[in-house]
Amino acid sequence: MKKSSFSPAVILTLVILLGLLVWAGWYAIGAWQAMTGVHMSPLGWFFMILGAVVTFLLGAGLMGLVFYSSRHDLDR
């Protein structure tokens, strides 16, 4: 039998993180279903989509800067 390459601390951390992910999904689904009667105007949808796009672009830009600085040895 092959021995696991993970220590007990790593396994415990992964179990806790997986539990938090399941809890967050459960909470998000419950919140989404609780808002079934809420109606949002087209302007509200526009700004929600705009916020998601801007957040994604900001995250992608920051990750690009991290990779750029790592490749050019700027993160000492």
Task: Please count the structural domains in the chain.
Answer: 2
Residues 29 and 53 in one domain: no
Residues 35 and 54 in one domain: no
Look at residue 72 and tell me whether its pLDDT is greater than 80.
yes
pLDDT at 57: 98
CA distances from 19 to 7, 26, 28 (A): 19, 11, 14
Q: Which residues constitute the domain of residue 26?
A: 1-39
Overall average pLDDT of the 21-27 stretch: 98
Q: pLDDT tens digits, residue range 11-21? A: 999 999 999 99
Q: pLDDT tens digits, residue range 29-63? A: 999 899 888 899 999 999 999 999 999 999 999 99
pLDDT at 1: 64
